[in-house]
Homo-oligomer: A and B are copies of this chain.
């Protein structure tokens, strides 16, 4: 079953808003084995929507649209689909009652534009919007389906989860669909692709591998449409063994959540000493709800004075080896363990760029140390991209080092 997506909104074309709806909907549909054939991004114009609907329905039986609903845009989406199918519009009393009730509670006067929102193409199933005013709709005519949703991301997602999901599964899902994503860190897409080449070639045409690279990370997704569940599970486990050395998590887990789990399960606390990463690792760790159970705090020692005053790094060490060195990050970790009082500490020092590099230590040189009272491990990287990516990469590698240290030392 072919699906086309139409994203309506001038703000998408002028580039002021990134089209996260298209990506979210693509992933959402994938969960049930559906794929988007083509996405059209167009402006807020009846003519554009009408002509794009025509094109879209030529190559798909289901067309999903976002945007063009809601009081300030004259509901152009609904008029366009009504015109396309040759339908009249009917006033939907239930929606009007809901909006009136909502506004009365908040003491806001209701306007005529909201009356327009209640007009629906004849025969459309109204998808009540609990997150906003504009309802969505599902229209079926002559074997063609059109689902129209608001453009505001959390409203669209709410309607997809609440109303569309069950409709799609009951109406369209024939084959079963299986998928599993492995999250890897520490090597690049090409190395992994080479490593699993024979395995990938051995998969039938029901199954496939998709690669999604990130900064220092690669997600590997195996999927299978139809066929036996046990076949999929065997292949999934084979793949899992093949890439085990790089895998840190699966199906949406972030490195920071995996690190958090390991700390929590072992009753350990973490403190950080960050220099070039400037707070990014702390920010990632604390983005996980409940992280206060295992993260106590950090010292962002951006200047050499702070490295000395807060962490007790020796001035001779800084003079002899420099801030970006194995010796300095080792003293930073010891200082964090002593002064910030955590069970585990990690320290990062590097040259993010664009300035600060030298022949001996070019931009992108990173030193990381991780340890506890008994032992400290160090590692260095050279990641020669731009400032933003050097910082992101250093944070990812530091989190991975903490993860590997916890596994090696605390998981027997």
Contact = CB atoms under 8 A, between A and B. Distances in A.
Contacts of A103: none
Interface stretch (A28-36, A83-91, A198-206, A403-411): A28-36
Interface in A273-315: 274, 276-283, 285-287, 289-292, 295-303, 305-306, 309-310
A230 interface: no
Nearest to A290: B355
Given A23-B15, A52-B38, A297-B306, A279 B289 contact: no
A300 B300 contact: yes
Contact of A305 (B20, B25, B296, B303): B296
Interface size class of A (residues with CB under 8 A): 35 or more
Nearest to A193: B72
Contacts of A321: none
A148 to B, nearest CB: 18
Contacts of A30: 14-15
Contacts of A39: 12-13, 39-42
A274 B286 CA distance: 11
B219 A16 contact: yes
Nearest to A13: B36
A22 interface: yes
Contacts of A120: none
A188 interface: no
Given A289-B387, A296-B306, A303-B292, A15 B24 contact: yes
A227 interface: no
